[in-house]
Amino acid sequence: MNPSPRCPYQGGAGTTTDPCRDYLGLREDEPVRWDEDLELWFVTGFREATDLLRNPSLSSAWPERGSTPLHAVADGADGDGARTSGLVRKWFMFNDNPAHGRARRLVAPLFSADRVAAHQPFIKEQVDELLSRHDTSLEVMEDLAVPLSGRVICRILGLDAAVAPHLEPWAMDVAALLVADYLPEVVTRGHAALEDMTGLIDRALEGELPEDSALHLLRTAHQSGEIELQDVWATATFLIYAGFETTSSFIGKAVRSILHTGSWEQLYKADIGPAVEELLRFDTSVQQVARVATDTVEVAGQQIAAGDLVLIMLGTANRDGEVFGRPDHLDHERRIKRHLGFGHGAHYCLGAGLARLEAQHALEGLRDKWDTLRFLEPPRTRSHFGITVLEHLVVAGARP
């Protein structure tokens, strides 16, 4: 029997329906199924998703050859059948080895355990400063999640903190380019955002940069002939997008999930590390990743043919009742061996440790500030060219 796609909790006005309902309905189908309209495979089972994410016959370079009927009508974003943009197609997340491994290894030292831990005082300082501006209420996205993630990624890259407010609109338009590049307006806005970002990067490269920053590392690699300028732009824009958008979204979703499920009191007593892992399982910011088959792949009794596009639904897989007991219940005491919130395999999120640290400090900051926390208004989302954005999340806190 399939688990119900509706959340069993009632967390207040406007919050009785699981905010993940849009993709949880897919659990009522087989764990691997073909969609006739979109001409692609949906993968929703946890075990199947895990296996496919590490299968060498599934390529991450779907923007090169992962068109759907929607893109066939639009004749591709660049007019040549390819997806997104030339710059985005150079992101290492959209490349296979050896290009993927080479680019990833270049910036991997920035996200080592020691380097991430060194950012902890800065992150805590930013959380404390942002929360100190508010006495009894807070708009979580505008007042905490967005500025925190923006400041942290600016620090990682070596950008001036004054740049941080510009990151959100750029990230949203690039995110739309990844899912709706069959729409002319999305292509125009996405390319404009990328041009703004590369312009910012060029100006930063001309000035002084902290020696431990990503842009200093990339500039040095370019000057030594190790990489081209296009590689600098590609890696830096990817770090801006991934480092900002996914982390700010997750912090907002984490607070929403806690209050939606009425589990603030449980969080107050829980170990924050395992609690963050459970929140990532419950409603992660990256709901799906795409792959394109380079050879025939058999999974769950289905045969995926070479050239087929595959959407691996991470959020749905993380609610698989065959793997997680009571999957629609948020349990801060749950001890998870593995979830797919950061993907799996060779493309496991490079910045996972940093994202965890930001979320932990954000939640600890809220927990230290207020004993109780509740929705002051129902959470509000909006659609940005097919992407559901958590736009408004106002909470009220108090001490007894």
- Residue predicted with more confidence, 71 or 261: 261
Give residue-wise pLDDT tens across range 202-215: 999 999 999 999 99
| Mean pLDDT within 372-400 | 89
Q: Categorize the per-residue pLDDT at 1 as very low, low, confident or very high, splitting at 50, 70 and 90.
A: very low
| Position 214, amino acid | A
User: What's the pLDDT at 24?
Assistant: 73
pLDDT over 70 at 88, yes or no: yes
Give residue-wise pLDDT tens across range 348-372: 999 999 999 999 999 999 999 999 9
Which one-letter DSSP state was computed for residue 312? E
User: What's the pLDDT at 71?
Assistant: 64
User: What's the pLDDT at 22?
Assistant: 67
User: What's the pLDDT at 5?
Assistant: 32
Q: Categorize the per-residue pLDDT at 337 as very low, low, confident or very high, splitting at 50, 70 and 90.
A: confident
CB 317 within 8 A of CB 341: no
Structural domains of the chain sorted by starting position, each given as residue range(s) with its CATH number in brackets: 21-398 (1.10.630.10)
Give residue-wise pLDDT tens across range 32-69: 999 998 899 999 999 999 999 999 999 999 888 767 77
CB 27 within 8 A of CB 44: yes
pLDDT over 70 at 96, yes or no: yes
Q: Categorize the per-residue pLDDT at 76 as very low, low, confident or very high, splitting at 50, 70 and 90.
A: very low
Q: Categorize the per-residue pLDDT at 83 as very low, low, confident or very high, splitting at 50, 70 and 90.
A: confident
pLDDT over 80 at 188, yes or no: yes
Burial grade of 387 (CB within 10 A; 0-12, 13-18, 19 or more): middle
Question: Backbone dihedral region of 138: left (phi > 0), alpha (psi from -120 to 50 degrees) or beta?
Answer: beta
| Mean pLDDT within 258-267 | 92
Q: What does pTM read for this prediction? A: 0.91
